[in-house]
């Protein structure tokens, strides 16, 4: 008995002869799942409707309208993994040879076909398709694991870098702050002739401006550092309902939105299941997104927050969607959201969104962004209902290995 389930995927047979379709179905329906069509156009429609089910396309060459090779070519571009077989009479041999030479078919079958031999051919084709599909799935899973390992390593490195830079920047700023505080007094003592420099208002405004920039730099670094940290004590211990938590964050930012006349709608359903999160980080994720919206959107814009439950995958997830009607995000900021390690120097938006990426990854989720053709921006945040804690290895050997693997990233970040 074969280990393969030959009905897991379907065979599409296309032939203009109704008797041929009937005999094919009668001969093989007990062993295979079969679709049939009487012309190439109908065959293409079935292929489009059942693209994920069909493993083998078998078609006659000589048919009214489009020929079999036409359908095989369309299938090759539409679903290259589908195994394509051409049924030919001796007179069509030139077409079969041409199809083989152009890579359009997996095999050709002489007409009239021999049922026992054709059954073996179809079994082998399905087995080849299923083995290839399993291989592709294993490769995808392996690449996904490797990508997550690389991202985890890089997040650790970037968090350490952010912590170190924050420490050194704070130390360096002590001298700057001291100078700013002493400068007005020194200028008055020297009785400089520059009226603007003697004006206390000038120094107060200048001092405030520099202080705000220093604070801004430190906040950006703090967000990166905090977003990259994993709490060892009861991670994801906060069970929350999405709508009220978003409402609380929006309440804190409401004065800023009102000043810009930006309308924000919290359209998240009440009946979504509760999810487990690291609440301070989750709040910061939403806050950073909304603050970027405040900085980017023109006055009078609109923002909508929605959410839905995603089931049917490996684990239940919640999809939170933020949609605005403003100008498209800068390309570098979009690039950072999709992959924060593509290089380049992201804008302020990009740095905040990088922190959002880290927080989503910390929860075992993702964040994606795109700018639709009709205008505006859409942020999609997918978070598992029950995240799994990220296990970190504190072994010195592992730490050294991570540091060496991320040496190029460190060099790039320091250079920028």
Contacts of 377 (CB under 8 A, 6+ apart): 323, 324, 326, 328, 329, 369, 370, 371
Tell me the C-alpha distance between 203 and 214, whole Å. 16
Burial class of residue 241, CB neighbours in 10 A (0-12, 13-18, 19+): middle
pLDDT number for residue 193? 47
Q: How confident is the model at residue 272 (pLDDT cuts 50, 70, 90)?
A: very high
C-beta separation of 231 from 277 below 8 A = no
What one-character DSSP code corresponds to residue 234? Answer: S
DSSP track, 295-325: HHSPTT-EEEEEEEEE-SSSS-EEEEEEEE-
Strand partners of residue 57: 12, 84
Check pLDDT > 80 for residue 63: yes
Q: pLDDT digits over 338-348, tens only?
A: 555 444 444 45
Directed axis angle between helix 40-49 and helix 68-78, to 10°? 20
Residue 80 confidence (pLDDT): 84
Is pLDDT of 227 > 70?
Answer: no
Residue 394 banded pLDDT, cuts 50, 70, 90: very low
What span, in angstroms and rounded, lies between the C-alpha atoms of 291 and 293? 5
Rg of the chain on CA atoms, in Å: 31
Task: Write the DSSP symbol of residue 375.
Answer: S
All domains in the chain, ordered by first residue = 10-113 (3.40.50.2300), 231-391 (3.30.565.10)
Question: What percent of the chain is predicted at pLDDT more than 90?
Answer: 27
Q: Match 């156009």 to its residue by tokens.
A: 41
User: Is the overall model pTM greater than 0.85, yes or no?
Assistant: no
């Amino acid at each position: 008995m074969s280990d393969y389930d030959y009905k897991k995927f379907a065979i599409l047979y296309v032939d203009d002869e109704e008797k041929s379709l009937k005999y094919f179905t009668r001969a093989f329906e007990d062993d295979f799942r079969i679709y049939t069509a009487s012309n190439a156009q109908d065959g293409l429609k079935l292929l489009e409707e059942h693209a994920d089910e069909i493993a083998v396309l078998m078609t006659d060459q000589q048919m009214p309208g489009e020929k079999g090779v036409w359908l095989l070519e369309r299938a090759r571009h539409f679903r290259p993994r589908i195994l394509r077989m051409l049924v030919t009479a001796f007179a069509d041999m030139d077409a079969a040879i041409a199809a083989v030479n152009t890579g359009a078919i997996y095999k050709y079958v002489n007409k009239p076909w021999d049922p026992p031999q054709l059954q073996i051919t179809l079994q082998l084709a399905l087995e080849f398709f299923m083995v290839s599909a399993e291989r592709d799935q294993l490769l995808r899973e392996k690449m996904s694991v490797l990508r997550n390992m690389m991202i985890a390593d890089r997040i650790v490195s970037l968090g350490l870098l952010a912590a170190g830079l924050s420490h050194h920047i704070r130390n360096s700023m002590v001298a700057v702050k001291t100078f700013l505080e002493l400068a007005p007094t020194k200028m008055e003592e020297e009785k400089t002739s520059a009226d603007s420099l003697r004006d206390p208002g000038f120094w107060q405004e200048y001092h405030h401006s520099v202080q705000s920039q220093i604070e801004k730099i430190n906040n950006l670094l703090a967000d990166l550092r905090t977003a990259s940290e994993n709490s060892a004590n009861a991670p994801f211990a906060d069970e929350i309902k999405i709508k009220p938590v978003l409402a609380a964050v929006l309440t804190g930012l409401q004065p800023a939105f009102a000043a810009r006349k930006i309308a924000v709608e919290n359209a998240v359903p009440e009946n979504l299941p509760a999810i487990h999160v690291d609440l301070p980080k989750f709040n910061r994720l939403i806050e950073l997104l909304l603050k970027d919206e405040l900085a980017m959107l023109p006055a009078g814009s609109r923002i909508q927050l929605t959410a839905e439950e995603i089931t049917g995958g490996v684990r239940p997830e919640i999809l939170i969607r933020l949609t605005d009607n403003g100008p498209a995000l800068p390309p570098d900021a979009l690039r950072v959201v999709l992959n924060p390690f593509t290089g380049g120097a992201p804008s302020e938006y990009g740095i905040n969104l990088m922190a959002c990426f880290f927080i989503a990854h910390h929860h075992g989720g993702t964040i994606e962004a795109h700018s639709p053709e009709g205008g505006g921006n859409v942020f999609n945040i997918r978070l598992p209902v029950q995240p799994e804690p990220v296990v970190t290895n504190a072994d010195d050997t592992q730490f050294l290995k991570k540091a060496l693997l991320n040496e190029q990233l460190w060099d790039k970040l320091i250079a920028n």
